[in-house]
Amino acid sequence: MIRIETGADANSDQPTAPASIHLPLVMRNGCQPSILITVKPAYDTYQDLQGQVSCVTPSDFKVAVYIYDSGWKNKPSLDSPLTPIQSDGTWICDVTTELYDSISTGIAVFLVPNGYDPPLLSRVNPLPAELFDNAVAYMIADRLPNFRQIQFSGYTWKIKYSETMDGPGPNYFSDNPNDVWVDSKGKLHLRIAIRNGKWYSTELITADSFGYGTYTFKIASKPELLDKNAVLGLFTWDDNAPQYGYREFDIEFSRWEQDVSDNSQYFVEPWNNGGHKHRFNVVSQGDYSTHRFTWNSSSVLFDSYYGLTPVPGNQIDSWLYSGPDLAPAGQGNVRIDLWLINGDPPSDGQEAEVVIDSFTFTPP
């Protein structure tokens, strides 16, 4: 739904205008300037953004366009942050000039006077207040996919879908019921599958947000059997917190394209900082294992166990992080994904499947 925003929208994942900022009342012949989005590109398409302005002399104004991709950025580019307006008040902007732009989830347009240079942004959140102060009209719109949803372990999960390459990987992502489903025993199945010559990965995202507490994942597959090009990830993520490493705490199972390597790791973003990652090996004792992390204001403790009961005698490994990059609690969700490194096919050329027994969150 397209709408003019003058405050936060509780039903949207996208940042909106600060509540204290209001549209300037600049009148022309008794008419208030306005800007509308007339053609909003659908999610995961490459259609141009189009719009219309009213109650201004078009040659005196331009349009500053931003899209939301884990933060706001200029379109069509940092080098060309302003879009001209035609004499009839229409304007058009290419908003897919970079990789992943087609799956951006928000659009913001500002009608600004000639001579104003809009701020240059590269995945910044929130939008700067100066944009609202200098624009005579603006509009913010969602551009969200229609997620297929399933129920698993008492939670609602959105299933990621993308026919263009998306991270991680990058990969194509499938929401096909043959690739993501919950069986009659309540277990979650995720597959890596090939269709029409394309390899698809799978990812689930909780509709709910979580904070401090214990995140427990019980899996019914053997990590050591994963193809060396595949990754099973169990993690938290917050699109709106790049300053906190997206609040990512991750348990991953992969050999990272190596024939012989440890097959598991814990990490805290940024993962490539020293002391942010712990590698270990799982050699399954039976079909089940339990993996969890407990996050509080001072640390995050990871631990893994053979079987479905986390008792000391079954422990595989553990790791405590209490460094300076520990993220505070926020609005992150939980994600489970099965994906291919660099989008490359499995080394054995075979489709893959993992089974997740359950997920639970226990608040402090």
Query: For position 301, which CATH number holds?
Result: 2.60.120.200
Does the pLDDT at position 8 exceed 70?
no
Listed in sequence order, the residues at least 6 apart from 339 whose beta carbon sits closer than 8 Å to its beta carbon are 168, 169, 171, 192, 201, 202, 203, 230, 231, 233
Q: pLDDT tens digit string along 178-191?
A: 999 999 999 999 99
Minimal CA–CA distance to 53: which of 41, 42, 66, 62? Answer: 62
Do 312 and 291 contact (CB within 8 A), yes or no? no
pLDDT value at residue 125:
86
The answer on 334 and 190 residing in a single domain is yes
Cα gap 290→218, rounded to integer Å: 4
The answer on 326 and 274 residing in a single domain is yes
The answer on 306 and 204 residing in a single domain is yes
Minimal CA–CA distance to 137: which of 51, 17, 15, 23? Answer: 23
Q: What is the pTM of this model?
A: 0.77
Amino acid at 188: L
Which range, 29-33, 124-128, 163-167, 233-237, has the best average confidence (pLDDT)? Answer: 233-237
Does the pLDDT at position 24 exceed 90?
no
In eight-state DSSP terms, residue 345 is P
The answer on 220 and 91 residing in a single domain is no
Task: Give me the CATH number covering residue 95.
Answer: 2.60.40
The answer on 234 and 129 residing in a single domain is no
28: domain range? 2-142
* DSSP structure string for 15-59: ----TT-------BTTB--EEEEEEPPPTT--PPEEEEEESS-GG
pLDDT value at residue 100:
86
For the chain, give the percent of residues with pLDDT over 70. Answer: 92
| Domain stops at, among 142, 160, 178 | 142
pLDDT (mean) for 106-134: 95
* Vertex 330: Cα angle to 329 and 335 (nearest 5): 100
Does the pLDDT at position 18 exceed 70?
no
In eight-state DSSP terms, residue 298 is S
Does the pLDDT at position 280 exceed 50?
yes
Alpha-carbon dihedral 121, 122, 126, 131, rounded to 10 degrees: 10
pLDDT value at residue 29:
59
| Domain stops at, among 142, 170, 204 | 142
The answer on 199 and 231 residing in a single domain is yes
The answer on 192 and 326 residing in a single domain is yes
Beta strand pairing status for 171-173 and 122-124?
A: unpaired
pLDDT (mean) for 281-303: 96
Q: pLDDT tens digit string along 83-108?
A: 999 999 999 999 999 988 998 999 99
Q: pLDDT tens digit string along 198-222?
A: 999 999 999 999 999 999 999 999 9
